[in-house]
Structure 1
Amino acid sequence: MSLFQHALVIGKFYPPHAGHHFLIRSAADAAERVTVVVMAADSETIPLDDRVRWIREVWRGDSQVRVVGTVDNIPVDYQDPEIWDGHVALMREALRPGESIDAVFSSEEYGYELARRFDAAPVVLDVDRATFPVSGTEVRADPAAHWADLEPAVRAGLARRVIVLGAESTGTTTLSLDLARALRARGGVHALTGWVAEYGRELTASKLAVARGVAATAGDPMPTVDQLEWDGRDFALVRKRQAEAEERAARAGGPVLVCDTDLLATAVWEERYCGRTAPETWAAVATQARRELYVLTSHEGVAFEDDGLRDGEHLREWMSGRFREVLGASGQRWIEVRGSREERVEAVLRALFQGLGEELLQGFVEAPPTNP
């Protein structure tokens, strides 16, 4: 039998971490129902909806745990009764009509006063962070140092994504793989650096194999890659598979994720093969997770190598120009790289770690290695 009927857990969850889930778990083990109220200010960099979604994902299998969010722009002053009243009023609004609270679970000293205001039992645990030595302030200051304290969805939300794109046979795959290896070589949490392959290339190989299987059955000549037909259904599949692969890798990987193409690149490839980009593709681009850096591989000085899945040597200059146009209009940070493999990697690392000093990534600032 549960000790309490209805427990309340409140916080910013900015971002949610292992200590927060310990608090929720303790409440769920002691009460028949738990309401978790996520309180976020408009000035904070992680959206309220993301925090609510991340916590709900962890507790989706526990029907007694309800997670709700509320915007709280009231300043914090534990000595001001009116400010206390304002915060508590927002918490009460987040509850269902007529609900009462008989326990308040907290890991802060203010939990005693909060419980008094709800006429509930104060359950204050791990104030000294002895059980879970982590806090939201520490995570925001250095996410990499506390990566293990974050659930997969939070990791995916905080991971800084580097996207390598370019025309055919300009070294995008080579550079993206080299970059992932260079980051892993740094050790620590960067050893988890993930890499996402280009699904369009996989689909090309599959379509060609299918076409040749059909031709062999009919006794027709074997088709080549330039004879494949592409339509909106193919690119809908590319959008789906590419986004799924990126999300999986972001959840399993480290603080930086390297992708060999993404949906913005897919939009240009769709224009190249179909003559236009579908509105659905641009809509998907608009909902992608934040990009830290786009890297365009120049075709200049790079010989075209036909590996059996390429047919666009004559379009490389156009595609490079089109990528520049799309990137320039995107508002995203991007660079174009030339030179040897080593020079390209060094250029990306230099740009990447110069940019990772803002918002949630102060702890990533470090000098890139001389020889990645």
Structure 2
Amino acid sequence: MKGEKEFGLGVVIGKFLPPHRGHHFLIDTALSRCSTVVVVICEKLTDPIPGHLRQAWLQEMHPAADVRVIDDRYDENDSRVWAENTLGWLGRAPDAVFTSEHYGDAYAGYMGSRHVMVDQPRHAVPCSGTAVRTDAFAQWDHLAPPVRGWYAKRIVVLGAESTGTTTLAQALAEYFETPWVAEYGREYSLGKQARGDGTWHTDEFLEIAREQTRREDAAAREANRFLICDTAAFATTLWHRRYMGFRSAPLEGFAKSCRADLYLLTGDEIPFVQDGLRDGESIRHEMHGWFEEALASQPVPWLQVTGTHEERLATAITACAGVGAPVGQRDV
């Protein structure tokens, strides 16, 4: 019959750690030849990427597939056990098994299914999960947006008022040809100023931190290896302390859950420039000290950048390169 697919039920099984273009090619091949495709993600508790994230990424990239996660507690070399479990997971034997591995013959054979080998020599897509985990930057072109969002290194430029954070963030983004995330707190503050609202509340800072992070997460998907952020939720905790006069446990708890790979603290040795919104010239140096103290008490690597714009940019670029080095070659 015209339009009828070769197989009814097809299965694709693997770690997908992480999903890459080779996996997408494999799944797309199965979808093109099967009426129904079940993708089985094998998850171990020690995996560096949780199974539910891999499931969400694959479901986003392949909405026509049925993507599931199973608890991987079995001998990876025992094809009979994997076949028996697959029959239980699916409720029946699949008509076809799609893999890029030689184990597929035995695995499919135990279920009475046909094995379809897809690009076993990796000619169509020369990539592997191991290669991505070792050096994701080198495999960047093989990664889909949600996976890029996971591997993008988040470089956060922060500091007291009028210390050049935005200038440096924009310059870094231009150098690395990648997006940068502007300071949402400034946007929010301008709105309050326009409304004549000069009173701050703790909930507003949590709102700012959440929106800043949401924008970071969205931009990370489009990042070219690095994502440059002009401030982050971590800095919002200090601005809360500045304007409210006390610390907020919920805000600080949220900030600790946010991602950052390197903090760049801009020095306060440059002249203060009033832009109509800033009010901290008299306390700028004290605020700078707060940043130093807070950065010293948290685990993310950080570095202070000072000097001319060119000197700051050169220092920052070198620091970013250290963060983006392959596993085992990072100094920062």
Tell me if both proteins adopt one fold, taking TM over 0.5 as the criterion: yes
Question: For the residues of structure 1 that align with 2:211 and 2:305, how far apart are their CA atoms?
Answer: 27
The aligned counterpart of 2:223 is 253
Are 1:7 and 1:31, in contact at CA under 8 Å, matched by a contact in 2?
Answer: yes
Secondary structure of 2:221's aligned partner: helix
Question: For the residues of structure 2 that align with 1:5 and 1:270, how far apart are their CA atoms?
Answer: 58
The aligned counterpart of 1:235 is 205
Aligned pairs for 1:98-177 within 5 A: 98-177=91-170
In the TM superposition, residue 119 of structure 1 has moved relative to its aligned partner by 1.9
The aligned counterpart of 2:34 is 31
Are 2:87 and 2:111, in contact at CA under 8 Å, matched by a contact in 1?
Answer: no
Which of 289, 292, 295 is the aligned partner of 1:324? Answer: 292
In the alignment, does 2:309 pair up with 1:354? no
- In structure 1, runs of 5+ residues without a counterpart are 78-82, 184-190, 212-226, 366-372
Which of 252, 261, 267 is the aligned partner of 1:298? Answer: 267
Question: For the residues of structure 1 that align with 2:46 and 2:210, how far apart are their CA atoms?
Answer: 33
The aligned counterpart of 1:203 is 188
In the TM superposition, residue 280 of structure 1 has moved relative to its aligned partner by 3.6
Question: For the residues of structure 2 that align with 1:56 and 1:329, how far apart are their CA atoms?
Answer: 39
In the TM superposition, residue 35 of structure 1 has moved relative to its aligned partner by 1.6
The aligned counterpart of 1:216 is none
Question: For the residues of structure 2 that align with 1:335 and 1:41, how far apart are their CA atoms?
Answer: 36
In the TM superposition, residue 279 of structure 1 has moved relative to its aligned partner by 3.8
Q: Deviations over 1:100-158 (max 9, x none)?
A: 32211112222111111222111112222233333323333442333222111101110
Residue identity opposite 2:154 in structure 1? R
TM normalised by structure 1 equals: 0.80
Are 2:96 and 2:115, in contact at CA under 8 Å, matched by a contact in 1?
Answer: yes
In the TM superposition, residue 86 of structure 1 has moved relative to its aligned partner by 4.9
Question: For the residues of structure 1 that align with 2:94 and 2:225, how far apart are their CA atoms?
Answer: 39
Q: Deviations over 1:208-256 (max 9, x none)?
A: 2232xxxxxxxxxxxxxxx722213422431232122212221112001
Are 1:70 and 1:90, in contact at CA under 8 Å, matched by a contact in 2?
Answer: no
Question: For the residues of structure 2 that align with 1:345 and 1:354, how far apart are their CA atoms?
Answer: 14
In the TM superposition, residue 71 of structure 1 has moved relative to its aligned partner by 4.2
TM normalised by structure 2 equals: 0.88
The aligned counterpart of 1:70 is 70
- In structure 2, runs of 5+ residues without a counterpart are none
The aligned counterpart of 1:14 is 17
Question: For the residues of structure 1 that align with 2:85 and 2:254, how far apart are their CA atoms?
Answer: 34
Question: For the residues of structure 2 that align with 1:124 and 1:175, how far apart are their CA atoms?
Answer: 50
Are 1:72 and 1:90, in contact at CA under 8 Å, matched by a contact in 2?
Answer: no
Are 1:42 and 1:73, in contact at CA under 8 Å, matched by a contact in 2?
Answer: no
Question: For the residues of structure 2 that align with 1:29 and 1:11, how far apart are their CA atoms?
Answer: 19
Residue identity opposite 1:9 in structure 2? V
Question: For the residues of structure 1 that align with 2:239 and 2:99, how far apart are their CA atoms?
Answer: 51
Percentage identity across paired residues of the two chains: 37
In the TM superposition, residue 42 of structure 1 has moved relative to its aligned partner by 4.3
Alpha carbon RMSD of aligned pairs, Å? 2.5
